[in-house]
Amino acid sequence: MTANDLKQIGDLVDEKINKAIEPLRQGINGVKQNMDGIKQTLEEVKNTQETRVLPPVTYIETTVKSYADRYVANEDHIRRLDKRLSTVEDKLEIQPSPDLNIPSVE
């Protein structure tokens, strides 16, 4: 077997390998294109989340927290006011009608 024969065999093997690999290359290129599309979509979702979803959610959280704080403060004020009013009513022997009583907040 001469060097030329070995070269022809090598070229033939190279050609067959390239033919076998070509569909794989095309498949990989398709996967790369799909990944690029997925990356772009993910960026759009992240952008939407950061610019359109998170600010309103943060605002709602802040608002609900302030309402909760005010509720606690108002509950305390109602208790204190009811205690003061009850004390005055007891000392003056005033009997308010039941519909004017302050319901318990507990």
The predicted-structure confidence for 31-49, as pLDDT tens digits, reads as follows 888 898 899 999 999 999 9
Question: Which pLDDT belongs to residue 77?
Answer: 92
Please state the length of the chain.
106
Question: What pLDDT band is residue 106 in, cutting at 50, 70 and 90?
Answer: low
The overall average pLDDT reported for the chain is 88
Q: Is 79 exposed, middle or buried (0-12, 13-18, 19+ CB in 10 A)?
A: middle
- In the chain, the percentage of residues whose pLDDT exceeds 70 is 97
pLDDT at 86 over 70: yes
Q: Give residue 60's identity as a one-letter amino acid code.
A: I
Q: How far apart are CA 42 and CA 10, in angstroms?
A: 46
Backbone phi, psi, residue 5, to 5°: -65, -40
pTM of the model: 0.51
User: Where do the structural domains in the chain lie, given as residue ranges?
Assistant: 3-91
